[in-house]
Amino acid sequence: MKEVITPTSKSYKEYLISSLQDVEEAAAYLETFLESNEEGREPEVLRSALKDIIDSRLAANNLSETAKQKYQQLEQMLSENSGNHLYTLIEFLDALGYRIKLEVKDS
């Protein structure tokens, strides 16, 4: 595990965007929002987390057109149903004894 250094001169948002450029950090960050229990779910927070990851990729000039298009589709879906479809899938998998785990793809 990496040693965490608290930002001092940068704003938290700048620090977050910078740290999310590491694909392992981004995967762990997003996974925490997908694992939240029903009481802790806030669809706007999940949308914000996804936006943070998109912003970090844009800052690194590392976002494909396909990813941009898929993000726009996902953003529209999440805005229309507050992520209920996504959370229903996660709850269904949980009931079957599974959980969502994000892994970085091999390049």
| Amino acid 7: pLDDT | 54
| Amino acid 4: pLDDT | 59
| Amino acid 6: pLDDT | 57
| Amino acid 46: pLDDT | 82
Q: Name the residue among 33, 56, 61 with its Cα closest to residue 45.
A: 33
| Amino acid 37: pLDDT | 63
Q: Are 29 and 55 in contact (CB under 8 A)?
A: no
d(C-alpha 30, C-alpha 21), whole Å: 13
| Amino acid 105: pLDDT | 87
| Amino acid 10: pLDDT | 65
10-residue mean pLDDT profile of the chain (107 residues): values are 57 90 92 73 80 94 92 88 79 88 82
| Amino acid 91: pLDDT | 84
